[in-house]
Amino acid sequence: MTSVKYHNIVDDSPETAILVGLITPNQNERKTTEYLDELEFLAETAGAKTVRRFTQRMNGPSSVTYLGIGKLQEIRAYIQAEEDAEREISMVIFDDELSAKQLRNIESELKVKVLDRTTLILDIFAMRAQTANAKTQVELAQYRYMLPRLQRLWTHLERQGGGSGSGGGKGSVGLRGPGETQLEMDRRIILNRMSLLKQRLAEIDKQKTTQRGNRGRMIRVALVGYTNVG
């Protein structure tokens, strides 16, 4: 089982981050550098300090590990060297959107927290959301992004056995059906939460419509009163 160190991305002391980008036939080195400059700014906005960048020339990202395995091993060696020198690397941020399989395999190799550009942007949105509407929209977006990646997020949880079948296993309190996995339960919880957030957004939109209508009536009443006084 992979042991991955997780930290809160926003802290009093900045966390340290490695940035990773690809140079491809459709994205030259200059463009990759520009994107990594932007990613570094986003990381800084989220509270992380960039300490190193890694790039690799490829025809396209690997569907399994995004980078070549040799490059991943190079990054892991750098992380290990920093840890040996008591300089912890908090995270590795990829300048792309990673699939669940890529995230799982990369974290298994690097053994640190792995983020992609989308996760980082959603984190910043969550930091800056002020209104109930904005906070709800960001939370919904985070769950939508998280849902297909649950297996990677909960790899530390083992399959729950038992249930109330004829085998007489103890099962787990609150789990529907014998042998249901923690992953399945978490997926249902998230789907229920997403449904609740959608209802909340609909209620907020309804309240906004009502408030706009009330403001319109108040303006008309004020204008009529002003006209009568005149």
Number of domains in the chain: 2
Residue 158 lies in a domain: yes
Statement to judge: residues 25 and 112 lie in one domain: yes
Statement to judge: residues 115 and 53 lie in one domain: yes
Q: What is the pLDDT of residue 188?
A: 79
Residue 73 lies in a domain: yes
What are the φ/ψ torsions at residue 131 (nearest 5 degrees)?
A: -80, 160
Q: Which residues contact residue 131 at a Cβ distance below 8 angstroms, ignoring those fewer than 6 apart? A: none
What token pair was written down for 215?
């403001």
Neighbouring CB atoms inside 10 A of 51's CB total 16
Which residue range is the domain that position 141 belongs to? Answer: 130-210
pTM of the complete model = 0.64
Q: What is the pLDDT of residue 217?
A: 61
Q: What is the pLDDT of residue 98?
A: 93
Which pLDDT tens digits describe the chain residue by residue (230 residues)?
444 544 444 446 789 999 999 999 999 999 999 999 999 999 999 899 999 999 999 999 999 999 999 999 999 999 999 999 999 999 999 999 999 899 999 999 999 999 999 888 888 888 878 888 888 888 888 788 877 776 655 543 443 344 444 344 443 333 333 344 666 767 777 778 778 888 888 888 887 776 666 566 655 555 554 444 44
**Euclidean distance between CA atoms 109 and 118, whole angstroms:** 21
Q: What is the pLDDT of residue 200?
A: 84
Statement to judge: residues 81 and 161 lie in one domain: no
Per DSSP, what are the bridge partners of residue 21? Answer: 55
Q: What is the pLDDT of residue 88?
A: 92
Q: What is the pLDDT of residue 2?
A: 46
Residue 197 lies in a domain: yes
Statement to judge: residues 100 and 25 lie in one domain: yes
Residue 4 lies in a domain: no
**Euclidean distance between CA atoms 105 and 157, whole angstroms:** 17
